[in-house]
Amino acid sequence: MRMKEMVRRTGVHERLLRYYEQQGLLTPGRLPSGYRVYGESDVETVRRIRCLLAAGLSTALIAQVLPCIRANDENLVPTCPDLLTQLRREDERITGTIEDLQASRAILHTIIAAAPSEDAGTLRPPQPAAAEAG
């Protein structure tokens, strides 16, 4: 199938399909004219890529793990023993990021809570101190 059909089947924009190709995630065939030609398996590959991106993996890591992932109904299943170690590391990384964001959010909530009540009107930024004459 050609690019437009691939876009229609996967819902992924042409630019992203080209990007996936640049990253080594997708390898469509080429016609003598240079046009890309995708197979049925490429549709499934794009679905796997999208799922792994949604899980928070980088395209560099996806390139490593994609050969070790198979589809089982709606789920992706790891097939290589060392893949679980990589996925657990990613889970730890994401957990750390979530914890950092929660800490940032708590600080922000503290700052917001310290503001005067909304009935007092809008907050104005502090005015710079007048320069002292010397």
**Pick from 10, 47, 55: which is nearest to 25 by CA?**
47
CB 62 within 8 A of CB 22: no
User: pLDDT (tens digit, 9 = 90+) per residue, 30-43?
Assistant: 999 999 999 999 99
70-115, pLDDT tens digit by residue?
888 888 999 998 899 999 999 999 999 999 999 999 999 999 999 8
1-26 pLDDT, tens per residue?
999 999 999 999 999 999 999 999 99
Question: Would you call 29 helix, strand, or coil by DSSP?
Answer: strand
**pTM, 2 dp:** 0.75
